[in-house]
């Protein structure tokens, strides 16, 4: 794999028109935090939760399938659910076989979505790392193309197209809050903006992958627990994204499971947006007050995944 500094604005800009026929330009909703019983503050919500397959992951999936030769054995991916759904959807659209490995922690909503796209689904192992190991063995045995959820050049480039789209939608923002698991999303977005706006990472307290990496100066193992463990809890952030994050992500903010649940409920009850725990994490930082904007600061929040049942929260 190449180093993160090959994920450039030029590559992202060149990739965006290639995947454009297969992805949605997702909407922005402007809200006032007074509607959530907080101090009045205008916040722009980028609703990437409305993307095909229910999350931003479709961007990286299509980039991989369009940029890399796909063998007869098809593609294989390990996922907490969203990446698997995106790869399954992209494979279905482009006419390839897909085999998806997910851990036992993956929720039913995500498993149903993966199956609905015609992929072969294999559930096993307690956490993402075990599903990843199983997918790597499958790739060795069959020759299927492995599509990594975050530590893959094409994945980062694809997710970076969301940064391009956010800048097009919201050219005047000062700050963007982005949830982090393995770091493919924030890595791609940060590569696009390249320091031109403030980018804040938001992570669950139970899975502080980037937070721990910043403390250590390199990716290290972190706990993989909490309500968002299906989407924001790999063992560590990717090696490719870390130099990008070091250069262009201001800091990481930790939010509690209670903060995330409150954000899910607020988004559903006040603006009827369905968000999974990982999708609501960035909004949780603003709702909880763990991120407090300066006077006049223009803030955008990425709501990045919706594969959840609102009855569960």
Mean pLDDT of 221-229: 79
- Give the pLDDT score at 57: 96
HSE-up of residue 243 (Cα within 13 Å, Cβ side): 9
Tell me which residue has tokens 């993989």: 224
- Give the pLDDT score at 104: 87
Separation of alpha carbons 152 and 141, rounded Å: 21
Mean pLDDT of 101-114: 87
Reported as a single tens digit per residue, the pLDDT across 162-177 is 999 999 999 999 999 9
Reported as a single tens digit per residue, the pLDDT across 267-310 is 999 999 999 999 999 999 999 999 999 999 999 999 999 988 87
Separation of alpha carbons 296 and 31, rounded Å: 15
Give the residue with greater pLDDT, 194 vs 311.
194
Angle between helices 9-19 and 153-169 (to 10 degrees): 80
Reported as a single tens digit per residue, the pLDDT across 49-71 is 999 999 999 999 999 999 999 99
Band (pLDDT 50/70/90 cuts) for residue 124 is confident
Band (pLDDT 50/70/90 cuts) for residue 1 is very low
Nearest to 98 by CA among 128, 129, 64: 64
Nearest to 161 by CA among 75, 57, 65: 57
- Give the pLDDT score at 179: 97
Band (pLDDT 50/70/90 cuts) for residue 5 is low
Separation of alpha carbons 53 and 94, rounded Å: 14
Band (pLDDT 50/70/90 cuts) for residue 3 is very low
Question: Is pLDDT at 19 greater than 50 in this prediction?
Answer: yes
Separation of alpha carbons 313 and 305, rounded Å: 15
Separation of alpha carbons 198 and 282, rounded Å: 14
Separation of alpha carbons 56 and 185, rounded Å: 8
Share of the chain above pLDDT 90, in %: 83
pTM of the model: 0.94
């Amino acid at each position: 794999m190449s180093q993160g500094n090959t994920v450039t604005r030029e590559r992202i800009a060149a990739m965006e028109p290639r995947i454009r026929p297969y992805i949605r330009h997702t909407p922005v909703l402007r809200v006032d935090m007074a509607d959530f019983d907080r101090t009045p503050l205008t916040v722009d919500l980028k609703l990437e939760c409305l993307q095909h397959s229910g999350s931003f992951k479709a961007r990286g999936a299509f980039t991989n399938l369009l940029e890399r030769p796909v063998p007869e054995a098809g593609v294989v991916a390990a996922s907490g659910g969203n990446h698997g759904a995106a790869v399954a959807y992209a494979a279905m659209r482009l006419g390839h076989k897909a085999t998806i490995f997910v851990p036992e922690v993956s929720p039913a909503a995500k498993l149903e979505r993966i199956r609905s796209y015609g992929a072969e689904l294999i559930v096993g192992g307690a956490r993402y790392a075990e599903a990843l190991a199983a997918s790597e063995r499958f790739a060795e045995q069959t020759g299927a193309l492995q599509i990594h959820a975050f530590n893959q050049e094409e994945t980062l480039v694809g997710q970076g197209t969301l940064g391009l789209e956010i800048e097009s939608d919201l050219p005047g923002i000062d700050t963007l809050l982005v949830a982090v698991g393995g770091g493919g999303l924030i890595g791609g977005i940060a590569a696009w903006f390249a320091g031109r706006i403030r980018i804040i990472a938001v992570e669950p307290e139970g899975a502080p992958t980037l937070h721990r990496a910043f403390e250590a100066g390199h990716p290290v193992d972190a706990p993989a627990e909490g309500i968002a463990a299906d989407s924001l809890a790999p063992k560590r952030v990717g090696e490719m994204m870390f130099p990008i994050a070091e250069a262009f992500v201001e800091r990481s903010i930790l939010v509690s499971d209670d903060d995330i649940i409150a954000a899910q409920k607020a988004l559903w009850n006040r603006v009827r947006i369905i968000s999974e725990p990982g999708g609501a994490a960035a909004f949780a930082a603003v709702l909880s007050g763990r991120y407090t904007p300066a006077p006049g600061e223009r803030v955008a929040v990425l709501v990045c995944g919706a594969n959840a049942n609102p009855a569960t929260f």
